[in-house]
Amino acid sequence: MRSRLLLLALVAAACGPTEDPFPAPDAWGGTTGPGGPTVEFTDADLGEHCAYLTGGPEDADHHNLQVMYDGYLLLPWAPENGGGGLTFFDFTDPCVPAKVGETYAEGMRETHSMAFGTVGGREYLAVDYHFGDVEPDGGDRGEDEEVEVEGGVGFWDITDKTDPQWVGELALPGYDYPDAYLRVTLSNFWQGDYVYASSGFGGIFIIDASDPADPQLVSQYQFTPNMLVGSFHVFGNRGVATSAGLTRMVLVDLDDPLDPQPVLGGDLLIDDSTGAEAPYYFANLGGPYALFARKDEGGGPILYDISDENRRPSFVGEAYTDDGSGGYVFLQEDHLFFGDSDFASIYDASDPTAPVEVLRLDLQGDLDTLTPVGNVAIASVDSGAVPGQSSAVIPWRTTLDRRGPRVGMTSPADGERGVASTGRVGLSFDEMIEPMSVFAGSFRVADPDGEPVPGQFNTQENLVNFTPDEDLLSDATYTVTVPAGGVTDVSGNVLEADVVFTFETAP
């Protein structure tokens, strides 16, 4: 027996250590830009405006969501009827933001999401697109006057942050402006080769974006009964369709990325804690939750748990403001950031069943958006702003963000069986992720032999997706590992603990 063990040890020594087929988790090379905020604040600084963000000379003071990308803050600026651009900032000192690059594009329209994709080694952003005057020559349109208006999805090449370039657009059928909600593009989501455009009663348009300079419409999906789709979030093989200003949410199966199918039990109306229907302006995802910005008869966030694929989504908690009317809501770790029209609020949601308002912020105008970036928040208004003050940087806590991101749910779920060979893998984090940190070493998908599955990565706010280059094997077990020290949040904090799960494909 002793001789046999010695022989095995000698064989193992001769073979040497097994080489890891994946890159190291932190071998992604870092960001081009310097990263998120690096300045701490005093108690007296909290809640006070310390800077204002503006776009180019054509900026119409109409701002919404802003996010960190490749170590820079990215500000899109455009009104509903088109004409705007992108500005990148060095945001390390958020109270002294420095412009890095800026470009105007006539087709840029107000955008409510940041859909990023990488094609052929270049980086792209999909936004809402609009072209054409609603009122010719700035006057009233007569009954007999016809004005050509089109809109849909536009694409920026953002590889060079000092000089982003508009490279293409796709006009979608049925686009109708100035119907600001009913038949226009309201948001976009990018996964693999496809961009999903939420288009009100037009439903979801699925666009082949494998060539952003020449995007192609490949499919359109409309719900039964029809739904006013405001946003469509995708992670892995799941899609979450939410409405614009109404109460409905529909979960869909995306085993086939071109053929969404409603999930049994996943079509529901959002209720508050009393069981009454709660209209919401827009919705978002973060951690295990769907997040709703209640509107009309009061504001405040509503949380639903959507993490269990075998269970109907369930009410978790809410906070109510009788003087608000919600716009957008975001999750950063255990805090919610909420635009409530006349003001914005930050909630401590460490107990998600009962979020508590901890700070209220003001900015003149329709304050719909409050975006978290480390220890500051960016309040943005989309109308009624003081000129040059449509986005304000506001410290909300004194210390820097030092905690890494955490995974709240995955698709496929751990141990899930019967996954289609066309399946993708998605992660929902509890805060926004730096897209550059997501690559083959920090998001590992291994085949049954432990070898890497090649594919594409997409990061959009809190959601991260992997799309295989080829269909998966049938009747096979795949292992997904998100190792500690790889994926980072927008402040540069790394994932602190390994996340490992498996799934089996269908025979």
CATH C-level class of 43-395: mainly beta
Segment 338-346 mean pLDDT: 97
Confidence class for position 139, pLDDT limits 50, 70, 90: very low
Extract the tokens encoding 270. Answer: 């959002």
pLDDT digit string, tens, across residues 414-461: 999 999 999 999 999 999 999 999 999 999 999 999 999 999 999 999
- 244-289: pLDDT as tens digits: 999 999 999 999 999 999 998 899 999 999 999 999 999 999 999 9
Amino acid 181: pLDDT: 77
Query: How far apart are the C-alpha atoms of 417 and 372, rounded to whole Å?
Result: 37
Partners of residue 253 on adjacent β-strands: 238, 261
Domain ranges for the chain, please list them: 43-395, 404-505
In degrees and rounded to multiples of 5, residue 65 shows phi and psi of -65, 145
For residue 141, pLDDT beyond 80: no
Are 280 and 274 spatial neighbours (Cβ–Cβ below 8 Å)?
no
pLDDT of residue 17: 54
Per the model's pLDDT, the better-predicted residue between 136 and 232 turns out to be 232
> pLDDT averaged over the chain?
93
DSSP 206-245: EEE-SSTTS-EEEEEE--SS---EEEEEEETTEEEEEESS
pLDDT average, residue stretch 385-414: 97
What is residue 436's three-state secondary structure? Answer: helix
Instruction: Specify the length of the chain in residues.
Output: 507
CA distance 222 to 206: 11
What is the pLDDT at residue 7? 41
Per the model's pLDDT, the better-predicted residue between 9 and 75 turns out to be 75
Q: Give the integer Cα–Cα distance in Å for 110 and 105.
A: 12
Task: Read off the pLDDT of each residue in 112-126 and give the average, rounded to a whole number.
Answer: 96
Among residues of the chain, what percentage have pLDDT more than 70?
93
Contact 56, 85 (CB under 8 A): yes
404-505 and 43-395 share a CATH fold: no
Evaluate if residue 402 carries a pLDDT over 50. Answer: yes
Predicted pLDDT of residue 9: 42
Write down the pLDDT at residue 135: 53
Residue with tokens 């081009």: 32
Mean pLDDT of 381-391: 96
In sequence order, the β-bridge partners of residue 77 are 63, 85
Q: Per DSSP, which regions of 287-389 are E strands?
A: 289-294, 301-305, 314-318, 329-332, 335-339, 344-348, 356-361, 367-373, 376-381
**CATH, domain range 404-505:** 2.60.40.1220
